Structure 1
Amino acid sequence: MGISLIAFALVASVSGGVGSARATTSGPTVCNIPEEGELTVGELPIGSSVISCEVVGRVVTYDGTGVTVPEPGTAVSIDSLTTDGQTHGFTLEVAADGRVSYELTDAGADLSTAGSDIPDVLSNPVNTADDLSQESDETDADTADSAAPEDAEVADVDALAAPGACSDGAYTTADRKEYGSYEWWIGDGGMPGGLSRTDAMWAFYDAIDNITESYNNCGYTDQVGAKHNYRAPTSWEADINNKGQCTARDGLSTWDAGDLKSGVVATTCSWTWPMPGVKNDLREADVRFNTHDYDFTNKPTSSCSDKYDIRSVATHEAGHVFGLGHVGSGHQNLTMYTNSFTCTKKARTLGKGDVLALRSIY
């Protein structure tokens, strides 16, 4: 896994007849993009102006993920926990003047063995107004857990071959940091594992604590100053749609469950304000579990079958909230590994690389 900060203009090639693209010029910026539908990072290349091209609110896609273009002075990142063991996600940043830049994830490479800390090198912060439009409520009950067979869990072969959690110092970090306290809410609808909203809140709370308190069995003391505070239930939903894309932010950091695209176990969307010379300032981070396609449990046992541990997945997602990135193949025993194994609690407990990543930020 590697991070490529695109430092050159991507050339968009748009096919179609007359009227299929819009051409607008503003200074050095030329817009030649489809008038409707989702855009790729090639169709909205680095240096494009979201103001001149009138694309705020449009969706930009990359590597099977997507984000809604935010207002100037805002960056949006998506991180998806998938079943294929690959890294899926990217960051779109819009500078104060409306110019676009990207951080794109190369899922085919893994440069995480020595640790990789991504600094901010982009634009100045602008305090944009919150988008407080309320989304429609949905009742998306948790998929019923399937009956577990009598056979016990079989350990994953790759995990056995990988370094132990306390000897693996691999990590990556993103360009974001919670400088204050992460304030979060519980959304409505079904919760993973069929938990009540109260029980889900405690499961998520404990998982976030695992990150903010550096919970580990490696003997590392907690030297991380990250903080969080649960606020209340809300009728609002995580700003993540059923394609696993980040929609426009609503001002609340909401944890919930619902429908994501198949192959995605959970998704975190994070919005930040660019900070020159340091990591971007986290403004909102939403998390959604995919209860449409996958089963979850709060208490994995020897009779567990194909169920993801809620606290393990939540700890991984909380790592993204506080700025941790994925580590790839060969690092299966770390919490921030790109996949989450079923029927195991091991990702609840941080490994060496997970702790070092947090220390590098906080």
Structure 2
Amino acid sequence: MKYGKILPDGEVLELTEGEATSARLAYSRCDDYSYNLSAGNWRPSTLYLNSNERLPAGIAKSTFESIMVASLNVWKNGTNSCGLSRALNVPGSISSGTWTYDANISTTNTCETADGLNVIDFGPLTGNTLGLACTWYTASGIPVQADVRFDTSDRSWVTSTTGCSGASYDLRSVVTHELGHVLGLGHATENGGSDLTMSPSITNCNASGRTLGAGDLTGIYVKHGG
């Protein structure tokens, strides 16, 4: 099978550091139904989680694994704080095991040659990128593989926002965002800074991405409605 590096929106999908602005108060994430879909319709089965290498200080293997499962379940269950409900049939499962597979993502934020495995790991990324997802397509435009990497380049990750300060970022929010890309969602073009999970950026100590906004839920329903 031929693999290509054609990506949704013609670029690597990455979540970057954001700055708080007054616009983010102008529109509730529960009122913003914005979403973007990536090309094709793929139903991934197994996501191989490399929790054995390059874990950041303070992030235990078991913690990373539980965050991954919880974040995938947010998409599967449509978990939100907006009182919205959708019938979903979201595919995929997390396989932690003792895998040492590496995501096919370079230190310069580019997608390398596909190997047919959907891998999630930690590793160095460039600039202000917190997490990055690569998707590979066949020559006919069918998505066949997705890899995700979370940054370890002088990055401060937290798993609880209690006492969070400085340039620290909520790992679970970033994980949930990147899994949205794996499941076929692009970056949302928001209406006035509503801070959706699929926003292209996130502010420090912001845990809102742990659950879905209206646009996130609508997008996953269009892609994987049950």
* TM-score when normalising by structure 1: 0.56
Q: CA RMSD in A?
A: 2.2
Q: Following the alignment from structure 2 to structure 1, what is the Cα–Cα distance between the partners of residues 78 and 24?
A: 22
> Relative contact order, CA 8 A, sep 6+: which one is greater?
2
Q: Following the alignment from structure 1 to structure 2, what is the Cα–Cα distance between the partners of residues 217 and 274?
A: 40
**How far 1:257 sits from its partner (Å)?**
0.9
Contact 1:257 1:290 in 2 (8 A): yes
Q: Following the alignment from structure 1 to structure 2, what is the Cα–Cα distance between the partners of residues 305 and 262?
A: 18
Q: Tell me which of 180, 187, 212 is aligned to 1:319.
A: 180
Q: Following the alignment from structure 1 to structure 2, what is the Cα–Cα distance between the partners of residues 223 and 256?
A: 30
Q: Following the alignment from structure 2 to structure 1, what is the Cα–Cα distance between the partners of residues 214 and 60?
A: 33
Q: Tell me which of 141, 146, 170 is aligned to 1:285.
A: 146
Q: Following the alignment from structure 1 to structure 2, what is the Cα–Cα distance between the partners of residues 286 and 243?
A: 15
Structure 1 residue 254 and structure 2 residue 119: aligned?
yes
Q: Report the 3-state secondary structure (helix = DSSP H, G, I; strand = E; otherwise coil) of the residue aligned with 1:221.
A: coil
Q: Please say which structure displays the higher CA radius of gyration.
A: 1
* Aligned AA (2:116): G
Q: Tell me which of 332, 335, 341 is aligned to 2:203.
A: 341
Total equivalences in the alignment: 217
Q: Report the 3-state secondary structure (helix = DSSP H, G, I; strand = E; otherwise coil) of the residue aligned with 1:248.
A: coil
**How far 1:72 sits from its partner (Å)?**
3.9
* Aligned AA (1:291): T
Q: Report the 3-state secondary structure (helix = DSSP H, G, I; strand = E; otherwise coil) of the residue aligned with 2:202.
A: coil
* Aligned AA (2:162): T
Worse overlay, 312-321 or 323-332: 323-332
Partner of 1:80: 14
Contact 2:3 2:136 in 1 (8 A): no
Q: Following the alignment from structure 2 to structure 1, what is the Cα–Cα distance between the partners of residues 207 and 18?
A: 19
* Aligned AA (1:307): S
Q: Tell me which of 169, 184, 191 is aligned to 2:47.
A: 184
Partner of 1:44: none
Contact 1:173 1:323 in 2 (8 A): yes
Partner of 1:139: none
**How far 1:250 sits from its partner (Å)?**
1.9
Contact 1:324 1:358 in 2 (8 A): yes
- What do the CA deviations read for 1:126-154 (whole angstroms, capped 9, x no partner)? xxxxxxxxxxxxxxxxxxxxxxxxxxxxx
**How far 1:332 sits from its partner (Å)?**
3.6
CA distance 1:84–1:344, shift in 2 (3 Å): closer
Which structure has the highest strand share of the two? Answer: 1
Which structure has the highest helix share of the two? Answer: 2
Q: Tell me which of 211, 231, 234 is aligned to 2:99.
A: 234
* Aligned AA (1:257): F
**How far 1:271 sits from its partner (Å)?**
1.8
**How far 1:73 sits from its partner (Å)?**
6.0
Q: Following the alignment from structure 1 to structure 2, what is the Cα–Cα distance between the partners of residues 346 and 212?
A: 18
Q: Following the alignment from structure 2 to structure 1, what is the Cα–Cα distance between the partners of residues 101 and 79?
A: 30
Partner of 1:205: 69
Unaligned runs of 5+ in 2: none
**How far 1:156 sits from its partner (Å)?**
4.9
Q: Report the 3-state secondary structure (helix = DSSP H, G, I; strand = E; otherwise coil) of the residue aligned with 1:301.
A: coil
Partner of 2:59: 195
**How far 1:290 sits from its partner (Å)?**
0.9
Partner of 2:79: 215
* Aligned AA (2:199): Y
Contact 2:18 2:203 in 1 (8 A): no
- What do the CA deviations read for 1:36-77 (whole angstroms, capped 9, x no partner)? xxxxxxxxxxxxxxxxxxxxxxxxxxxxxxxxxxx7464542
Q: Following the alignment from structure 2 to structure 1, what is the Cα–Cα distance between the partners of residues 147 and 164?
A: 32
CA distance 1:281–1:159, shift in 2 (3 Å): same
Partner of 1:95: none
Q: Tell me which of 136, 161, 168 is aligned to 1:300.
A: 161
Aligned identity (percent) is 27
